[in-house]
Amino acid sequence: MRVLIAATLGFALVTGAASAAPWSDPNGRLVFDAPAGWTTSVEQSGEYTYVVTGTANNECHIISRPSPRTATVSAAAVRVAGANDAQFNDAFWQTLANGFGRIFPANSAQVQSHSQDSSQFWPIQRAVIQSPQRSDLTAPIQAGFEMRPGFELMTLCMTYGGPDATQTYDAVMRSVGHPNDATFQADAERLGAQNAAANAAADAQNAQTQEEIDREARRRRVQH
């Protein structure tokens, strides 16, 4: 694995993986499934978690960092915000990517495309980004971004050689999450159910009010 050290280097803790298995952050910020045969190293574990996992040909950098702006926002609202494609435009991705100078040196990120993966409860914003300064890579970098209450989760996967690994990168990104995801999802679903019930009650009340208005209108027509 060709580890590209994070901008602020902490320490490296290397563990081997004989088969695909969950990796859990001791600091409680990140979980993901490391593919079979991939080696995982923790590059930063202070204020945020930065993990690199991969082989000689394939590598994913996975980051979980605090997000004060969503720390007090409901899980349901965070989920909606994470699915708002309008805010995840080329400028967003270019700024995000260039923030990782060891991966995109000299602000060299060039966004090729971006999309949303909505196959799971938590939407994943995706992007394909290249850097003309990364001649060591044989394919553009695959990027993912997710939101949770109080956290941002990012994944950057790159290829140094070998066959296309898009499906492997897809699987890694879909496995990335927060240890409290079950609680976050339950909170979001509960609020969603409450909102749905409130909307249904409001619709019923509006229908009843309209029926009373129509009934009164018919009564007046009969009298005249």
174 in a structural domain:
yes
Domain range spanning residue 99?
14-179
What pLDDT shows up at residue 5? Answer: 38
Q: Using the 8-state DSSP alphabet, how is residue 85 labeled?
A: G
| DSSP at 150 | T
Per the domain annotation, does 201 fall within a domain? no
Asked if residue 113 is part of any domain, the answer here is yes
Residue 6 pLDDT: 38
Q: Which of 126, 114, 177 is nearest to 156 (CA)?
A: 126
Over the chain (224 residues), what is each successive 10-residue block's mean pLDDT? 45 45 94 96 95 98 97 96 97 98 97 98 98 97 98 98 95 98 96 57 56 63 68
CATH of the domain at 158: 3.40.1000.10
Q: Does residue 133 lie in a domain region?
A: yes
* Residue 98 belongs to a domain: yes
Q: Are 103 and 158 in contact (CB under 8 A)?
A: yes
Split into its structural domains, the chain has a count of: 1
154 sits in which H/E element: strand 151-159
- Decide if 55 is inside a domain: yes
139 in a structural domain: yes
Instruction: State the Cα–Cα distance between residues 124 and 194, nearest whole angstrom.
Output: 25
pTM: 0.80
Give the Å distances, CA to CA, from 191 to 68, 150, 156.
Answer: 22, 18, 32
Within-domain flag for 8: no
